Amino acid sequence: MLIEKQIPNRQKDENLVLFLRRHPIIIFSRWAVYLFLGLIPPFFYYFISINYPDVLTHPLGYPVLLLLACSLYLFIALFFLNAFIDYYLDVWIVTDRRIINIEQRGLFNREIAEHTLERVQDVSALQKGIFQTFFSYGDVHVQTAGEIQRFIFRQIDNPFEVVRVLNNLIHKHEAEFDNRLFETIKDNKTEAE
Amino acid sequence: MIEFPLYIILIPFALVVILFIVFVFFNLYHLFGFGFLSFYSFLVTFLFLGLTVLILFITYKLAAPLDWMQIITLP
């Protein structure tokens, strides 16, 4: 288990810049669907009691309906937990050196990938549709030179701000690299003289 | 004509509950095995466990007065 907002395999002097998950609206919308599913048994009971009252007085009818309703509610509770886990285990971490992509796909597939900032070639944000525009969430695409060529930060809050932060980090990193290179060349030149 | 005691319908219900427990185990294993230790992970786990206990308690309260030994006759 990891501690919240702690960098996995943290390197020396590495600092956390962004710790991202999907926008909370994603999990709340899934929970709303399950809440709606939970309203089915009372409405169904009301419908049966009005139209088919004999079913409820039958010695088998009421127990069967009761156990079916209980089973449905148990699985709604399970879906509620599963939606949270699906939301909670997808994490994108940006540090001042790396981008770490942790994604849970279903119950048995988990993918962890990371890239150093030097490998990032292009960063772009995509916000489409009325919901994404209204709630200000969307995808951030990070194009890298590695084997996994594209990281997608899915449905994250404020994607354009994330792109701005990432671009600033990459430029800062490039400037530091240039400075180091310049210093090395300068030192080599001094030694040669 | 088919005759059977009412408690027979508790067998498929027990299978559903076992399936539920298996999935809960996998979910909680993922949450605490790969997840991040935080207030929210504990809050949601306790909410889920509370909801499960509540569902089972209400079901028990509604099911307890029924005569599960009675013989059901289907034509």
Judged against a pLDDT cut of 80, whether residue B44 lies above it is answered with: yes
Q: Which residues sit opposite A111 in a β-bridge?
A: A103
Hunting for tokens 């209980």 — which residue is that? Answer: A70
* Sequence ranges of the domains in chain A: 28-86
- Mean pLDDT score across all residues of chain A: 86
* A1·B48 Cβ contact <8 A: no
Q: Which of the 8 DSSP states describes residue A5?
A: T
Domain of residue B59 covers 2-74
List, as own/partner pairs, every contact residues B12-16 make where C-beta atoms lie below 8 angstroms and the sequence separation is at least 24, other chains included: B12/A67, B13/A67, B13/A70, B13/A71, B16/A71, B16/A74
pLDDT category at A15 given cuts 50, 70, 90 is confident
pLDDT of residue A147: 65
* B30·A1 Cβ contact <8 A: no
Q: Which residues sit opposite A115 in a β-bridge?
A: A99
The answer for residues whose C-beta is within 8 angstroms of residue B69's C-beta and 6 or more apart is B5, B6, B7
* A77·B48 Cβ contact <8 A: yes
Which of A123-137, A164-178, B48-62 is the least confident region? A164-178
Q: Residue A65 corresponds to which tokens in the numbers above? A: 């309906």
Other CB atoms within a 10 A radius of the CB of residue A105 amount to 11
Q: What is the pTM of this model?
A: 0.82
Q: Which residues sit opposite A100 in a β-bridge?
A: A93, A114
Mutate to test the interface with A, among B26, B31, B36 (most CBs of A within 10 A): B36
pLDDT of residue B36: 67
What are the φ and ψ backbone dihedral angles of A184, each rounded to 5 degrees? -65, -45
Provide the number of structural domains found in chain B: 1
Contacting B with CB below 8 Å, chain A residues are: 1-6, 59-60, 62-64, 66-67, 70-71, 73-75, 77-78, 80-82, 84-85, 88-89, 91, 104, 107, 110
pLDDT category at A89 given cuts 50, 70, 90 is confident
Is residue B36 within 8 Å of residue A4, measured between CB atoms? yes
Residue in A with minimal Cα distance to B70: A59
* A60·B45 Cβ contact <8 A: no
- In terms of pLDDT, which residue wins out, A110 or A64? A64
Q: Which of the 8 DSSP states describes residue A7?
A: -
Question: What's the CA gap between B29 and A79, in Å, rounded?
Answer: 15
Chain B residues with CB-CB distance to A80 below 8 A? 48, 51
In chain A, the percentage of residues whose pLDDT exceeds 90 is 36
Q: In what order do the strands lie in the sheet with A91-95?
A: A16-20, A91-95, A98-105, A109-116
Question: What's the CA gap between B23 and A85, in Å, rounded?
Answer: 12
What are the φ and ψ backbone dihedral angles of A116, each rounded to 5 degrees? -80, 160
Judged against a pLDDT cut of 90, whether residue A75 lies above it is answered with: yes
- Mean pLDDT computed over B9-24: 94
pLDDT of residue A140: 92
In chain A, the percentage of residues whose pLDDT exceeds 70 is 94
Q: Residue A111 corresponds to which tokens in the numbers above? A: 């993918």
pLDDT category at B57 given cuts 50, 70, 90 is very high
Helix extents (H) in chain A = 24-38, 40-51, 53-57, 61-88, 129-135, 159-192
pLDDT of residue A3: 55
Which of A19-23, A54-58, B29-33 is the least confident region? B29-33
